[in-house]
Structures are given as structure tokens and as C-alpha cells.
Structure 1
């Protein structure tokens, strides 16, 4: 005879682990700290599309713009000139001088 299960079967060890993680997340994001997170992405764009037989792709000939989103909304696109080589310190400077001036915190 089969018995119908109404809830997920979670072992006690998993319950304890979930509780610990939940408490850690609540402490980490307490007092609105989650509102100071910037999710960023670099996206490739191209004004001139070329047909690709595998699928349609859009490629950029230069550097990709930096885009971001925060709790309050979207950050403006930030473009870096093609001649500029962006490594760790330069990327941090861009974030500090362009993105953080836009952010409300």
C-alpha cells in the first residue's frame, strides 16, 4: 500500500543546516544592508548585426559597457574607450568614480 506524502521529506540534519543559513542571512542583511548591493554585468553590443547560421548573435568590436542594477533601480550605462586597458585597479576606479557617485549610499 502506498501512502500519500503531503510535505517534503527533509531529514533533521538538513533542517538544522537550513535554520543556521537562514539566521546567518538575516544577520548579514539586517538594517537594510541588502539595499547597498550592486549587481553588475558587462554586455556585448554591436550596431551592425551579422547573420550567423547557428543563431543570431550580436558582437561588439570594442569594449563592453558596464551596466548595473541596485535596490532603487538601474544604473546608467558606463562606456570605456577602446584604447583604455581595464584591469583591477582601473575597474575599481571606474566603479568608485562613476557608479558610486550615482548610488544613493
Structure 2
């Protein structure tokens, strides 16, 4: 990341799919990392809609989390994102959050 720059992306709280049901829609946005922990588990980021928390978790690959495709990306797309700023955007019939990290 460039010094004195901000990067961000919008996250809709789509929730996740687990054990045959959809969960946490409206509360969380979960995104898989490309990093495995072992043959059964991989890392993911959880964006909590109710506060500005972003957590890294280690979950079973059978969970249905979102993916974010990055074009021409090199290295690990998940970097430490501190300080973290959350902005709320209201649109007709929907709300979205944008998380930004700035150096």
C-alpha cells in the first residue's frame, strides 16, 4: 500500500451458508482468504455490520462464504488493516458499509 493513501471496498452483509442453512444475513460479510490452514480449513475475514470489527477466522471449507476476486494481484490480498474506518452509506431500500484503511 502506498504511504498516505486510503484503500477501501464496500461490504454488503450477505451472511454465510453453513450446514444447509443461510445465516447472519444483514449482520456479517464473510470473505474467504486464499490461505489454507490445513486440508480442511482456510482463513477468512469477517466484517461485522453492527460495529467496525474485522476479524480473521479459521473455518471449515464447507462453509459458504463470499469471495472477492482481485485482478493482477500479487502477494497476500489480506493485509493488516489498522487504523480502520467504517462509513455507512444509505440508499433506497439498502444500506452498505465501506471499510477503509489508511497509512
State TM-score, norm by structure 1.
0.24
Task: From the two aligned structures, give the one with the greater helix fraction.
Answer: 1
Larger Rg: 1
State TM-score, norm by structure 2.
0.24
Task: From the two aligned structures, give the one with the greater strand fraction.
Answer: 2
